Amino acid sequence: MRINQLNWLNEGNPQIFRELKGRLKPRNILIAVALSLVGQLLIFMSFARHIPTEKYQALEKYCRLQPTYQLYQREYYQVQRQISPYTQVKPKLSPEKTQELQARFKELQQLINDNCPIDQINFQQWWLDQWPRIFICLSMFAFFILLGVGAYMLIDDLAKEERRGTLNFIRLSPQSSRSVLIGKMLGVPVLLYLAALVALPFHLWAGLFASIPAGEIFSFYAVVMASCAFFYSAALLFGLSSAWLGGFQSWLGAGTILIYLMAFNYRGIDQSPFDWLNLFNPSFLLAYLLDRTGSTYLDLPFCHGLVQNLEWFYLPVGATGVGMGIFLLLNYSLWTYWVGQSLSRRFRSDQATMLSKKQSYLVTACFTLVTLGFALQPPRQWLSSQFVSNLHALLMLMGLLFICLIAALSPQRQTLQDWARYFKDLKQKGEGKINHSGWQGLIWGEKSPSVVAITINLLITATPVVCWILLCPVGSEHKMEALSSVALTVSFIILCASIFQLMLLMKTPKRALWAAGVAGSAIFLPPFILSVLSVNPGSDGGSLWLLTAFSWGAVKYASETLVFQVLLVQWTFLGLLNWQLTKQLRKAGESASKALLVGKS
């Protein structure tokens, strides 16, 4: 392809033109096409080598004589039982009858080991059964390579741009962030797209020969494209936020995506909030394409269980392939939008928080709506145990969300210094009190500390969860345990947010790494130590689990008084942390004001 033919792209999106110009070399194109063709040939040959030959036995599935030989096989086992010395047959067989049966046994033994005549092998049916497997194999290889390798290429490209210093040049260009990022996502993996296009005819052919309607095949293509948009956006965001990892970041990002795809290829639907995580795996739709929603998928390289049982707010979204496809696309679209918003902010300034506080409230509301819908289940015999397990799953997902939000909303030291100086001026105008503008800044301001915003986000999440707990038709003891679990989780998350924000005020150059390390240790180190010491919930010392991030496992063994005491300890520690945070911010504001006055003089 001559690059001059793509000059029209330079006017529409210069970034795409720049990426294509650097990658669409004849040598690269030939390699991509050759690898795609070789891959297709290898997949086809891996199935074709199992085609029945003259050594194909008559008792096998695709031999037209199989019913006759199955009769021989049944007779063989009957004769075997009659002449076996371990089988007592009354009356005892005569020597002549025994000799006759032995001769027949040898004849049947030879018959059941006969090979099927070539003209009696049903090759048409054999191929009809292979095409679905070929289609699935091509599909799995395609989206694994597109998502894993594509994410690696995008993160690695950003790292190279950063090392060469061209990333800042792109940021200063008149192009919009959206234009640049779309150019990256469309241009960097262009050779992967080319390889996928070369494989498209064979894949479509395999699907049609597998009796899969063309509309369903194209719906799968739409889901794969939506998954690429989501994972590529997430990869770019990770690349922009993890420059300190150096060359390891591309391997870490791509490896995480591949591990997720492999792990959730075999996760079954269990009517819990974790079912939401299955929706990010494109293989979730393949079950509908093969119309195997009621089976265990035999020997296929994925298994999501009974996907038709998937429900969201009691709606049977998994009942049909069309409904499931639409639900997957809506899920991808929603979270691609929010990742894109964060990506645009981070691209323009590496000092900016990944989300504004207003955006974080909307993200939290969306997350709560989506995950709570999977927690709600119609009344069943095991409703109490399902309620408890779904609550625990919801709290774990909530913890993952707030780990991301704490990292996304906590501003850096310089930003906090600027805000502290501004906040000091507001307090002086308000005669020592926080006026309306000060509270507005804490709730909505992008440079203010994140603790207040995290608290509001927790209220947004906890309020509907508490309402669900109160309205759920379970016993009062389960409700009290659930409310205690929510209270302990909320309290622990606010503690982590305060620790993280306080650590970001350090003067050390690696303060972000220190903050992540300390907050991560607070989350994972105590449970690890308790597990190593074999201190389990319900055993001696098991109440210590109430102080960890996984307190819900110990709540059912604790009294209400003990839970209140733990909350009181956490709130006391939280008060001390925020007092220290306020002190550090006041000090930073005074230092910044003095430096500004010195600069003016």
Span 266-278, pLDDT tens digits? 888 888 899 999 9
pLDDT at residue 384, as a whole number: 58
- Rounded to 5 degrees, φ, ψ at 239 are -65, -40
Residue 485 has pLDDT above 80, yes or no: yes
- 297 torsion bin: left (phi>0), alpha (psi -120 to 50), beta (else): left
Residue 123 has pLDDT above 70, yes or no: yes
Token pair 């494989």: residue: 199
| Other beta carbons less than 10 A from residue 271's beta carbon | 19
- Rounded to 5 degrees, φ, ψ at 115 are -85, 150
Query: Half-sphere exposure (CA, 13 Å, Cβ side) for 567?
Result: 17
Residue 34 has pLDDT above 90, yes or no: yes
CA proximity to 346, closest of 497, 233, 452: 233
Residue 292 has pLDDT above 80, yes or no: no
pLDDT at residue 426, as a whole number: 54
Residue 450 has pLDDT above 50, yes or no: yes
| Other beta carbons less than 10 A from residue 450's beta carbon | 25
pLDDT at residue 435, as a whole number: 53
Amino acid code (one letter) for 204: L
pLDDT at residue 295, as a whole number: 39
Amino acid code (one letter) for 452: V
Q: Give mean pLDDT, residues 229-252.
A: 87
Distances (CA, A) of 212 to 123, 235, 252, 255: 20, 33, 36, 32
pLDDT at residue 221, as a whole number: 95
Structure tokens given for 263? 């792990």
Name residues whose C-beta falls within 8 Å of residue 525's C-beta, 6 or more positions apart in sequence. Answer: none
Residue 379 has pLDDT above 80, yes or no: no
423 pLDDT band, cuts 50/70/90, is: low
Q: Cβ distance 98 to 83 under 8 Å?
A: yes
Count of residues making up the chain: 601
Opening angle at CA 247, ends 241 and 248, nearest 5: 80
pLDDT at residue 359, as a whole number: 93
Burial of 116: CB neighbours in 10 Å, binned 0-12, 13-18, 19+: buried
Residue 594 has pLDDT above 60, yes or no: no
Maximum mean pLDDT: which of 325-334, 436-445, 550-559: 325-334
Residue 601 has pLDDT above 50, yes or no: no
Q: How far, in Å, CA of 576 to CA of 71, rounded? A: 83
**pLDDT over 70 percentage in the chain:** 87
DSSP-derived secondary structure for 191-226:
HHHHHHHHHHHHHHHHHHHTT--HHHHHHHHHHHHH
Residue 51 has pLDDT above 70, yes or no: yes
pLDDT at residue 432, as a whole number: 47
Maximum mean pLDDT: which of 166-170, 189-193, 425-429, 540-544: 189-193
Q: How far, in Å, CA of 200 to CA of 205, rounded? A: 8
Mean pLDDT of the chain: 84
- Rounded to 5 degrees, φ, ψ at 85 are -70, -15
pLDDT tens for 59-108 read 888 888 888 878 878 878 887 877 776 555 455 667 777 777 778 878 88
Q: How far, in Å, CA of 519 to CA of 523, rounded? A: 6
Q: Give mean pLDDT, residues 482-504.
A: 91
Structure tokens given for 334? 């929603």
Q: Element (H or E) spanning 465, and its range?
A: helix 451-471
Of 161-175, 411-425, 532-546, which gets the smallest average pLDDT? 411-425
Interior/surface letters 311-329, b for 16+ CB within 10 angstroms, e for the rest: bbeeeebbeebeebbebbb
pLDDT at residue 294, as a whole number: 38
334 pLDDT band, cuts 50/70/90, is: very high
Q: How far, in Å, CA of 402 to CA of 462, rounded? A: 12
Q: Cβ distance 317 to 271 under 8 Å?
A: no
pLDDT at residue 535, as a whole number: 87
Higher pLDDT, 77 or 404: 404
Distances (CA, A) of 538 to 279, 387, 525, 532, 546: 36, 20, 20, 16, 11
Of 207-221, 256-270, 390-404, 503-517, which gets the smallest average pLDDT? 503-517
pLDDT at residue 115, as a whole number: 82
pLDDT at residue 255, as a whole number: 93
Structure tokens given for 595? 């430096």
| DSSP one-letter code for 285 | G
| Other beta carbons less than 10 A from residue 541's beta carbon | 12
pLDDT at residue 515, as a whole number: 85
pLDDT at residue 162, as a whole number: 83
Q: How far, in Å, CA of 245 to CA of 154, rounded? A: 15
